[in-house]
Structure 1
Amino acid sequence: MQTLDRPLGHSLEDTLTIAGRTFHSRLMTGTGKYRNFDEMRQSIAASGSQIVTVAVRRVQTNAPGHEGLAEALDWTQLWMLPNTAGCQTADEAIRVARLGREMAKLLGQEDNNFVKLEVIPDSKYLLPDPIGTLEAAEKLVKEGFDVLPYIHADPILAKRLEEAGCVTVMPLGSPIGSGQGLKNAANIQIIIDNARVPVVVDAGIAVPSEAAQAMEMGADALLINTAIAQAQNPVGMAQAMNLATEAGRLAYRAGRIPVKSYASASSPAAGSITG
């Protein structure tokens, strides 16, 4: 098991393990939608993130804003999470996953089998195809990939993907880039309560309070891109999301008080002054 260098502020006792690899940050970030590479690098550093996702298809085709992106980051300090963004079918996603694994190897990560699996035929709402996702996941697991599937907040699908051998499940809080927050909180909670693999809440988180809320629910990690990259001050927002992720995790581990239908005085009545 390999452990990446520990950023300041992270507890040595509370680590995130995915496919036998240990991380100290529970905030994953992306590389899309930034205004320039300098802003991207500074934001990723401020986020404390160790796992950074890269859209393989957009890098391979030199899509606008992605020219030279793979070489713009120091992959000796970050773990690449290639993703299959832009794929509309299971077959497309499988092909792009293979390209992503080769890209990671070329950049020095010889043992990187991670892939963020996205199968999204819907161009308006960018909602994942559950059937195509499960089909692709089953095939990629057989090829030795560590599959991190992006899905609806569907507890049954999450369990099926876990049984298929996926190393995480990644339910969406709300549609990608929408900033709507945790619209699917009830279903995400069911997934968290029943999963035996890490649950990563992905998509829809817009502000640090929502990041903290997801972690307080017991999510193992978050993936946040648009809320950071498109903020007025991406570096400041990245730092805020980092702190919120840590605060939410600490709160979850500390244990909240029960919700009561009546008041409970902070100070005991015994020994109070009377008369």
Structure 2
Amino acid sequence: MEDLKLYSKTFSSRILIGTAMYPSPQIMLDAIKQSASNIVTLSLRRQNPNEQGGEQFWKLIQQTGCELLPNTAGCKTVQEAVTLAKMSREIFNTNWIKLEVVGDDYNLQPDPFLTVEAAKILIKDGFEVLPFCTDDLVFNLRLLDAGCEVLMPWGSPIGTAKGLMNPYALQTLRERIDHVPMIIDAGLGKPSDACLALEMGFDAVLLNTAIAKANDPVRMANGFKSAVDAGRDAYLAGKIQSRQTAQASTPTIGMPFWHQQK
């Protein structure tokens, strides 16, 4: 399977995985390994390697050998997001940032106006921005106008496990924007959700809650890995069109007809 390219970097896996809410640090490491992910996300508000409390966690993250994608989860203003992104660049030595600017505390929906504004500032400052957004087409187009080269629309609100809540909007989004990588981020609850996303032509998925909160996170990580591989293969193979009527799969031409004896 071909590699995933995000900005100037290439990855063999199409799963990005979060690092929060696991039953233990070891289970987190085992799940990341089982998923075969090359990229892990980290909330700067929760874990700061410059602080003593996060030092051990930071060492564990380094053990994974994965590319680090810091995020601005929890930020509600442009200034908060920009400041946190600049901190991440100094601390983690990366220009990558997963941009999140919360617009509503109830469903954690990103604010489209503030997200676009923050993206413009960060890109101008040399960041490679991966913005968390909704499935709204115009929101995504404005992020492209701001200079984003990767988009991360949600499947459904964070942590809801509702899967791809609006397939029509997502399919429209993928068809209208077919020249940049798009990663489904948030709301996936089971491997079949991820498979469907890849079947629709999305390039990757970002997971956290669905794996970390499963009864067996490591086995669930493996399930998502298999589902993503299956979905990508199905998309590349080209699915057949659905029909309203039945059609025999076994040809009848050239077959003998047996007549009942009277």
Determine which of 223, 234, 238 is the counterpart of 2:206: 223
The answer for the alignment partner of 2:5 in structure 1 is: 17
* 1:196-233 Cα shifts (integer Å, max 9, x gaps): 21000011101011110011000001001000000000
- Asked whether the equivalents of residues 27 and 47 of structure 1 are also in contact (C-alpha less than 8 Å), the reply is yes
Amino acid at match of 1:149: P
**Distance in structure 1 (CA, Å) of the matches to 2:196 and 2:174:** 13
**Distance in structure 2 (CA, Å) of the matches to 1:132 and 1:154:** 15
**Distance in structure 2 (CA, Å) of the matches to 1:171 and 1:237:** 23
The answer for the alignment partner of 1:27 in structure 2 is: 15
Determine which of 165, 168, 184 is the counterpart of 1:183: 165
- The yes-or-no answer on 1:119 pairing with 2:101 is yes
Determine which of 36, 43, 50 is the counterpart of 1:55: 43
**Distance in structure 2 (CA, Å) of the matches to 1:178 and 1:68:** 30
**Distance in structure 1 (CA, Å) of the matches to 2:58 and 2:148:** 25
The answer for the alignment partner of 1:257 in structure 2 is: 240
Larger Rg: 2
Per-residue deviation at 1:33?
0.9
TM-score using structure 1 length: 0.89
Determine which of 239, 254, 262 is the counterpart of 1:271: 254
**Distance in structure 1 (CA, Å) of the matches to 2:150 and 2:185:** 12
Determine which of 166, 170, 176 is the counterpart of 1:194: 176
* 1:114-165 Cα shifts (integer Å, max 9, x gaps): 1000001422211111111000001101011110000111111111111211
| Unpaired segments ≥5 residues, structure 2 | none
Moved >6 Å (runs of 4+): none
User: How many residue pairs are counted as aligned between the two chains?
Assistant: 256
- Asked whether the equivalents of residues 172 and 184 of structure 1 are also in contact (C-alpha less than 8 Å), the reply is no
The RMSD of aligned alpha carbons is 1.7
**Distance in structure 1 (CA, Å) of the matches to 2:54 and 2:13:** 25
- Asked whether the equivalents of residues 29 and 64 of structure 2 are also in contact (C-alpha less than 8 Å), the reply is no
SS in 2 for 1:71: helix
**Distance in structure 2 (CA, Å) of the matches to 1:268 and 1:76:** 53
Q: 1:76 to 1:227 in 2, by over 3 A?
A: closer
Per-residue deviation at 1:60?
2.6
**Distance in structure 2 (CA, Å) of the matches to 1:62 and 1:88:** 23
Task: Trace 1:68-217 onto structure 2 (pairs within 5 A).
Answer: 68-74=56-62, 77-105=65-93, 112-195=94-177, 196-217=179-200
SS in 2 for 1:257: coil
Per-residue deviation at 1:77?
2.0
Amino acid at match of 1:29: I
TM-score using structure 2 length: 0.93
Per-residue deviation at 1:47?
0.5
**Distance in structure 2 (CA, Å) of the matches to 1:68 and 1:92:** 26
**Distance in structure 1 (CA, Å) of the matches to 2:48 and 2:120:** 25
The answer for the alignment partner of 1:6 in structure 2 is: none
* 1:99-126 Cα shifts (integer Å, max 9, x gaps): 1112222xxxxxx311000001422211
- Asked whether the equivalents of residues 33 and 64 of structure 2 are also in contact (C-alpha less than 8 Å), the reply is no
**Distance in structure 1 (CA, Å) of the matches to 2:134 and 2:92:** 27
| Unpaired segments ≥5 residues, structure 1 | 1-10, 106-111
